[in-house]
Amino acid sequence: MAASVQGSAWGPLRVGIPGLCCRRPPLGLYARVRRLPGPEVSGRSVAAASGPGTWGTDHYCLELLRKRDYEGYLCSLLLPAESRSSVFALRAFNVELAQVKDSVSEKTIGLMRIQFWKKTVEDIYCDKPPHQPVAIELWKAVKRHNLTKRWLMKIIDEREKNLDDKAYRNIKELENYAENTQSSLLYLTLEILGIKDVHADHAASHIGKAQGIVTCLRATPYHGSRRKVFLPMDICMLHGVSQEDILRRNRDKNVRDVIYDIASQAHLHLKHARSFHKSVPVKAFPAFLQTVSLEDFLKKIRRVDFDIFHPSLQQKNTLLPLYLYIQSWRKIY
């Protein structure tokens, strides 16, 4: 298969994937799915979170994450106990925004929901969170860790732009989207962990971009089933692939070359992120556990020769909890 300039840094396309011992995942990982206590806060605005149903707000976020972002849910379970509930809230906030696009039939309705979250964030920083479980838990996280409002608003603004349902014009546009959503999420996670380090921020930027690219690839079959294509147009044009080729689930060499080039960009971002490994504080490593699932997907897509429609790519890796636990124990990312 021909490799473009973008993909040339990946090296040989078909290599053996080293296996790990197939032990059962430690029970301790699953045992952490318990009710997470919220922070002790005070003030008149506490009324939003201190009623009879307060117990359910953290549980709501946990369940939303488990159902809609299972990999993020597993990664969050391995965070330090004092940070876990805040990251659950942050990721639940991201899920709420991410599912707006697919849950509405008209852009106007989507814009109304986005506007709700814009106002919610403004109200949170005025200590007036609305009576909504994710908003209440996010307010607690903001109060506890003094989270930067700018990163939250960047995520909202970028999700709003993405309601247009347009394909990315080039790989840079996809990376910018990933930077403003996934990387912003990681910057906030680092704040929750109490990390202020330029090397950790650089690693977060690259990991977020890799996450955005991989998410775009993984969602291609789903988007195709809805007659939509979001793969970068410049790479498709480079290999003579039309949107109709993707919609018809074409598996010829040109389509696989497109997928190879895009996947290679994700691989390069992971490689760059890991180049800061020795300079990043060890305390920041738990924020980057998602690299396990990213690398797992990139290995799987290499094994099927970059056939994005191969059924195996849509299957959950049942050993992922074990791999995450091992990565956490080894203190690497």
Residue 22 has pLDDT above 60, yes or no: no
Burial of residue 287, with CB atoms counted within 10 A of its CB: 0-12 exposed, 13-18 middle, 19 or more buried: buried
Residue 5 has pLDDT above 90, yes or no: no
3-state SS class at 84: helix
Structure confidence by residue, pLDDT tens digits, 323-333: 999 999 998 89
Q: Residue 18: what pLDDT?
A: 37
Cα within 13 Å of Cα(235), Cβ side:
28
Mean pLDDT of 22-42: 40
Mean pLDDT of 154-158: 98
Q: Cβ(295)–Cβ(266) under 8 Å? A: no
- Reported confidence tier of residue 55, pLDDT bands at 50, 70, 90: low
Phi-psi region of 69 (alpha: psi -120 to 50; beta: other; left: phi over 0): beta
Residue 15 has pLDDT above 60, yes or no: no
In the chain, where does the domain assigned CATH 1.10.600.10 lie? Answer: 166-316
- Reported confidence tier of residue 10, pLDDT bands at 50, 70, 90: low
Residue spans of alpha helices (H) in the chain: 27-31, 55-68, 70-77, 81-98, 100-103, 107-124, 133-145, 149-161, 171-178, 184-192, 198-218, 220-225, 233-238, 243-247, 253-275, 291-303, 320-330
Q: Residue 53: what pLDDT?
A: 42
- Reported confidence tier of residue 165, pLDDT bands at 50, 70, 90: confident
Q: Residue 164: what pLDDT?
A: 87
Q: Cβ(287)–Cβ(273) under 8 Å? A: no
More confident residue, 243 or 39: 243
- Reported confidence tier of residue 29, pLDDT bands at 50, 70, 90: very low
Mean pLDDT of 63-74: 96
Residue 47 has pLDDT above 80, yes or no: no
- Reported confidence tier of residue 44, pLDDT bands at 50, 70, 90: very low
Residue 102 has pLDDT above 50, yes or no: yes
- Reported confidence tier of residue 51, pLDDT bands at 50, 70, 90: very low
DSSP letter, residue 181: I
Residue 12 has pLDDT above 70, yes or no: no
3-state SS class at 286: helix
Q: What's this model's pTM, rounded to 2 decimal places?
A: 0.83
Structure confidence by residue, pLDDT tens digits, 265-309: 999 999 999 999 999 999 999 999 999 999 999 999 999 999 999
Residue 176 has pLDDT above 50, yes or no: yes
Q: Cβ(88)–Cβ(36) under 8 Å? A: yes
Q: Looking at domain 166-316, which CATH architecture does it have?
A: Orthogonal Bundle (1.10)
Q: Residue 35: what pLDDT?
A: 38
Q: Residue 103: what pLDDT?
A: 87
User: Percentage of residues in the chain with pLDDT exceeding 70?
Assistant: 83
Q: What angle do CA 28, 30, 36 make, to 5 degrees?
A: 95
**What does pLDDT average to over the chain?**
87
